[in-house]
Amino acid sequence: MLRTALRNVFAHKTRLLMTALAITLGVAFVCGTLVFGDTVAQALRGASAKSFKDVAVSVQAESQQNTDDEANNTRTTALTSELVDKVRAVPGVTSVHAIVDGAATLAAKDGRPLNADNSWQNLAINYAPDTPNTDRDSRFPLSAGRAPTTSDEMALDRRTAEKAGYAIGDVVRFAVQGPTLTKKLVGIVTTDDPRVTAGGSLALFDTGTAQQLFLQAGRFDELAIGSAPGTDNHELTSRIRALLPAEGITVTSGAQLANEQAQLIAESTKALTRMLLAFAGLALFVGVFVIANTFTMLIAQRSRETALLRAVGASRRQVVRAVLTEAGLLGLGASATGIALGIGIASAMRPILNAGGAGLPDGPLVISTDALLRSLLVGVGVTVLAAWLPARKAAKVAPVEALTTVDLTPPRRSLVLRNSLGALFTGVGLLTMLYVSTRKNGADSNLEAAALGCALMLTGMIVIAPLLSRPLVRLAGAATTRLFGVSGKLAKENALRNPRRTAATASALMIGLTLITSLSVTGSSMNAALKTAAVAGLTADYKVSISGAATIDPALAAKVAQVPGVAESVPVASAALVARGKGATLTGADPQLLAKVSSLRFSSGSLADLGPGRIALSDRLAKDTGLSKGDTFQGTVGGSRNKKELTVVAVYRQTRAFGGAIGTMDDVLPHAFVTGKLDSILVRAASDRNASGLEQDIRQALGNSPLLRVQNQDQLTKEQSGEGDAMLNMMYGLLGMTVVIAVFGVINTLAMSVFERTREIGLLRAIGLDNRGVKQMVRLESVVISLFGTALGIGTGIFLAWACGSLSTSTLPQYETVLPWARLALLLLLGPAIGVLAALWPARRAARLNMLRAIGAQ
């Protein structure tokens, strides 16, 4: 039986080609994901370990508000210069890097802000020599120029300098929190810090300048301590800990810090790997249909051969083992190819992602035995599992069938049980999703119900597909018959001949298109809601803000008001509000000015009613707290110590632009998130001025800081939807693999169907059907099957997206199901296109059959 299995694999290698390709792609996806995950994790661990290579002990200080200088809002730490000197004197210590951490956003040489939207990645550190008697900082080797030594000098890392277009001697513009600063570039360094290699920037200053910009004279954020060879670093850590205050400072060994960093990196890479593996699992799931369909057709074509084996003594168990062995050998060969392809994919993923700005560090390709074995086991296991039911069917072939002719039509198996189960699954899934559509929040119980409903619905559609195939294929067949005559009618009859086969082929395509459709509808709906929410209730032409956590000095609002063409300049601040145990953001502004740059919808009261101690609540906060117009409550603004009696004078529809409540500037500004600072300035252009020209004028009036953001309404909406669009595009690409595998399934089914109908095609040729008619018949059959799968996929995907959409309404009230008609039309056209593409080889093969040999085929 083993020899029989081997012979069958080699005898039917052409018919198994598409199946092998489906397995290969699925395994390549799995292997590529595992190898890529291991490679990135190892590269990040290596970069992290390299950054801690010379650190024996790390001393980290907690930031505190400088109570002696509240007006300037500076911060301080418990790590002083005196403590640094004490640590430096500890036996075994060879170097102490006293570090000041901050953030500085640069302007490129052409004036554009550099990485302004991710200012937290823009590192700024002091250049701290290893010892007081040297000017070399081993953490940042100089590649050009020298170290910064005065307050008007700075250095950049090589990547940042190249990205910004700076060279030694240039004047660099940057901002820390307030206005633009300039310093001369005197040095360029190299670094393996993962934060920089991941796309951030690095600016270096001398210690005094860094303390002036980010901290306080004589204070530090961290000490990176090096030790002499042979020193017991654990003991050294204990000695240093004994010198330092018990509070406000954490002492950790460098080895422990590197280990903690490695664990964080491992966790972060696991999330990406899991996501990619989920898509790989979907691709393999679609491949199951291709494999099962292939073996079902092969067994039907080899029924006489199987009967002969049974007649000469083969048991049912031996027949099952032979089929499963054949599947195992196919899976083994295809998986080996898939592993090789997966390794190639993994090696290409890093440069592709880095080209898009991922900033993954360099490192060797990590090909672990575990990843290879798991990929191989998945490929072989899925193939054998998919062939199990066809193998059982083969074992049921009776020995007496060896005496019959293969031209006899096999008896049709009843679909009653299958249709009943399919209707049950579909019905339960439908009811579950209708229940989900009534839920208005993303609670865990609702998400679990949605996942269960989607799984039941999709399973039910797969099971009931043979029943649905008849009316839908007849409908499509009516069009092909009318348009193409006999060829169209034959295509329809061929698709209806075996509903199970048609359903299995179409289901593979349906799964991929269901997921892509639901993703498209959900993504379009979410983007539309986010765009609406971003500017809902806001009529200002521009919003002026500062990147990151930086805030705006109230005096700058007056400067904006003086810019020619500005009709209104409305300063806005915000503070934390607690009302009856519910937290919200309280927005502060002058009510009269705010009315000129907003269009809030009030259910009671208006902005004119606001005043000292009188606030407006959003409808959501009013519902959560049970408050309404006229109610007075004891709330806290800006902190638990600042309790204040507040009166609700208006209720408006909540928007993202204005948060959960609105009050006067006098009530909010003293208790703002950053005391006395604004969040933003809303600007309305004069009616006789083109608003598009104001952006640069406003930037110039405020010093053109790289941190400054002057956004019009289009930019505000794009900011909300930009990351979502990038994520959707990536997911479309990943789901595209399922469609590719489904196309192989259609090709495979058609090719094997042509072989199965060799005599029939010969007879059609004999009675007058020409080559063109044969090709057209096969192509139209492919189109009909593809249209069936496409229709099921698009319809199911739209329904699932609609049902799950209600879960977003609690956090995004503007959410409504929006059908992306252009994209759906493209998907609908994709069905016939797939059908035509999949039929190219089978149609050509059918047309080239020799008429006489085909008629005489057995």
Amino acid at 76: T
Helices 316-355 and 388-395 meet at what angle, rounded to 10?
A: 160
Please state the pTM of the whole predicted model: 0.75
Q: Which residues contact 382 (CB under 8 A, 6 or more apart)?
A: 23, 26, 284, 287, 288, 291, 331
Each residue's pLDDT tens digit, 151-160: 999 999 998 9
Instruction: State yes or no: pLDDT of 189 exceeds 60.
Output: yes
Helical ranges in 536-584 per DSSP H: 555-561
- Which tokens is 133 given? 């008697």
- pLDDT of 631: 94
Same domain, 570 and 505: no
Same domain, 725 and 788: yes
C-alpha–C-alpha distance, residues 429 and 845, integer Å: 42
Mean pLDDT of 469-493: 88
C-alpha–C-alpha distance, residues 63 and 26, integer Å: 50
442 lies in some domain: no
Domain stop point among 257, 274, 300:
257
628 lies in some domain: yes
CA torsion 628-634-637-641 (nearest 10°) is: -170
Distances (CA, A) of 492 to 41, 224, 700: 53, 76, 70
**By percentage, how much of the chain surpasses pLDDT 90?**
30
- pLDDT of 625: 93
Burial class from Cβ neighbours inside 10 Å (0-12, 13-18, 19+) for residue 842 reads buried
Instruction: State yes or no: pLDDT of 71 exceeds 50.
Output: no
User: Which tops the pLDDT comparison, 81 or 722?
Assistant: 81
Instruction: Read off the pLDDT band of 173 (50, 70, 90).
Output: very high
Q: Which residues contact 367 (CB under 8 A, 6 or more apart)?
A: 35, 38, 343
C-alpha–C-alpha distance, residues 776 and 772, integer Å: 6
- pLDDT of 603: 93
Each residue's pLDDT tens digit, 703-740: 888 888 888 888 888 776 655 666 677 777 778 878 88
Same domain, 190 and 241: yes
- Which tokens is 398 given? 């009776």
How many separate domains does the chain show? Answer: 4
Each residue's pLDDT tens digit, 746-762: 887 887 777 777 778 88
Write out the residue range of the structural domain in which residue 691 sits.
551-706
Mean pLDDT of 498-518: 88
522 lies in some domain: yes
Domain stop point among 706, 725, 759:
706
Which of 195-199, 550-554, 694-698 is the least confident region? 195-199
C-alpha–C-alpha distance, residues 107 and 171, integer Å: 11
546 lies in some domain: no
Q: Which residues contact 822 (CB under 8 A, 6 or more apart)?
A: none
C-alpha–C-alpha distance, residues 85 and 226, integer Å: 14
Cα atoms found within 13 Å of the Cα of residue 445, Cβ hemisphere only:
3
Q: Which residue has the tokens 């360099």?
A: 362
- pLDDT of 733: 75
The count of other CB atoms within 10 Å of the CB of residue 352 is 10
The count of other CB atoms within 10 Å of the CB of residue 252 is 17
Each residue's pLDDT tens digit, 425-443: 999 999 999 999 998 887 8
Instruction: State yes or no: pLDDT of 14 exceeds 70.
Output: no
Mean pLDDT of 628-639: 91
Instruction: State yes or no: pLDDT of 76 exceeds 60.
Output: yes
Distances (CA, A) of 31 to 202, 498, 700, 732: 36, 36, 53, 20
686 close to 563: Cβ distance less than 8 angstroms: no
- pLDDT of 131: 76
452 lies in some domain: no
Same domain, 92 and 41: no
Same domain, 623 and 760: no
Instruction: Read off the pLDDT band of 69 (50, 70, 90).
Output: very low
User: Which tops the pLDDT comparison, 260 or 682?
Assistant: 682
- pLDDT of 858: 52
420 lies in some domain: no
Each residue's pLDDT tens digit, 313-330: 778 888 888 888 888 888
460 lies in some domain: no
Instruction: State yes or no: pLDDT of 260 exceeds 80.
Output: no
Same domain, 566 and 524: no
* Backbone Cα Rg of the chain: 35
Mean pLDDT of 610-618: 94
- pLDDT of 151: 92
Same domain, 675 and 722: no
Same domain, 180 and 299: no
Q: Which residue has the tokens 């598409």?
A: 18
711 lies in some domain: no
- pLDDT of 608: 93
Same domain, 112 and 227: yes
Instruction: State yes or no: pLDDT of 586 exceeds 90.
Output: yes
Each residue's pLDDT tens digit, 277-304: 888 888 888 888 888 888 887 777 777 7
Instruction: State yes or no: pLDDT of 607 exceeds 90.
Output: yes
Instruction: State yes or no: pLDDT of 5 exceeds 70.
Output: no
Distances (CA, A) of 55 to 244, 252, 555: 18, 10, 45
C-alpha–C-alpha distance, residues 585 and 369, integer Å: 53
Domain stop point among 638, 671, 706:
706
Instruction: State yes or no: pLDDT of 401 exceeds 70.
Output: no
Same domain, 608 and 522: no
What is the residue-averaged pLDDT of the chain?
Answer: 84
Each residue's pLDDT tens digit, 101-155: 998 999 999 888 887 766 667 899 999 887 777 888 888 999 999 999 999 999 9
Mean pLDDT of 158-185: 90
- pLDDT of 376: 93
C-alpha–C-alpha distance, residues 663 and 371, integer Å: 58
